[in-house]
Amino acid sequence: QKQSELSSLIGKTQESIASGKSFSRPSEAPSSWLEISSLGRKAAIENSWLNNIGRAVIMAQQAESSIDTMASSSIRAKELVILANNETLSATDRSVIALELESLRDQVNKLSQAQNSYGGKLFQAGDPIEMRIDTNVLVTPSPNFQTVAQAINIGGSTSDLDTIMSEMITAVRTGTPADRAAQLGRADSLVNHYSNLLASQGLLVNRLDQQEDRLQKSQLTSTERRSVLENTDVSEAVSRFQSLLVNLEAAQRLYAKSSSTSLIQLIR
């Protein structure tokens, strides 16, 4: 019986070394199998979160780039409004300034209506898109259209981007000095609006990068743990194999010796 048990263990050890797997059936290592199954489920969930993060990062970076351009455009618009308030300028000079403001208005309007890399609106009207990146954690890759181009705080009230830019253009082209002076505060509000949006978007991109890094480290740890549970430690298996061979040889010698001894000899 001892020889049979040792032969079976030797066979399993040989198979473990050849296959690289420490066990071939769950019944051989129930606790390891349960942990491996749990690690597999965890990896599948984290993969779905990583996929969401990948999509969210693309959308968030695209939104960040667009908002950055809008912020730069608002700064340039402020510079032009300041320039237009120089009373030494002629009507022709102000007409040129108004033309540049019109170009900026067209640019920011197009950016606010841009599509994302997946064919939808980058700044979606209504409720913004949310993506899950962890248990009970949802993120919004990009702000909605209302936040970007409609609900802009101007001196305690709100106005939309196109109206603000159109009023600037009208004040520069045909307005009075008082009309042009009034646009300075509105230009400041526009700059502040897009600067704040850009800062928030930058923080979101950083948060997504950090979460992606955390999940990748978690998956690496799980992979290493699964390898420990599942894969054969070759040096340990070879050592065990040699020990089993020694034990088998000893058992065979003992059996051979005892089988050649008669009952009479044992009684004597």
- 138-191 tens-digit pLDDT: 999 999 999 999 999 988 889 999 999 999 999 999 999 999 999 999 999 999
Largest pairwise CA distance in the chain: 135
Residue 240 has pLDDT above 70, yes or no: no
Residue 96 has pLDDT above 90, yes or no: yes
Partnered with residue 253 across adjacent β-strands are none
Residue 224 has pLDDT above 90, yes or no: no
Q: How confident is the model at residue 237 (pLDDT cuts 50, 70, 90)?
A: low
Higher pLDDT, 245 or 111: 111
Mean pLDDT, rounded, for 74-80: 96
Q: Which helix or strand (DSSP H or E) is residue 83 part of?
A: helix 30-84
Q: What pLDDT digit, counting tens, does each position of 11-37 carry?
A: 565 566 555 565 556 656 677 778 778
Residue 218 dihedral angles phi and psi, to the nearest 5°: -60, -40
Mean pLDDT, rounded, for 115-135: 88
- Interatomic CA distance for residues 177 and 89, integer angstroms: 11
Residue 264 has pLDDT above 60, yes or no: no
Residue with tokens 């900026």: 104
Give the per-residue pLDDT at 159: 92
* Amino acid in position 25: R
Give the per-residue pLDDT at 166: 95
Give the per-residue pLDDT at 86: 92
Q: How confident is the model at residue 236 (pLDDT cuts 50, 70, 90)?
A: low
**Tokens standing for 24?**
């071939």
Mean pLDDT, rounded, for 194-215: 94
Give the per-residue pLDDT at 47: 92
Q: What pLDDT digit, counting tens, does each position of 102-112 carry?
A: 999 999 999 99
- State the distance between the two ends of the chain, measured CA to CA, in whole angstroms: 27
Give the per-residue pLDDT at 40: 86
Mean pLDDT of the chain: 83
Residue 217 CB-half CA count within 13 A = 6
Residue 254 has pLDDT above 90, yes or no: no
Residue 251 has pLDDT above 70, yes or no: no
- Interatomic CA distance for residues 121 and 169, integer angstroms: 28
**Tokens standing for 18?**
């050849």
Share of the chain above pLDDT 70, in %: 74
Higher pLDDT, 100 or 232: 100
Residue 3 has pLDDT above 70, yes or no: no
Residue 257 has pLDDT above 90, yes or no: no
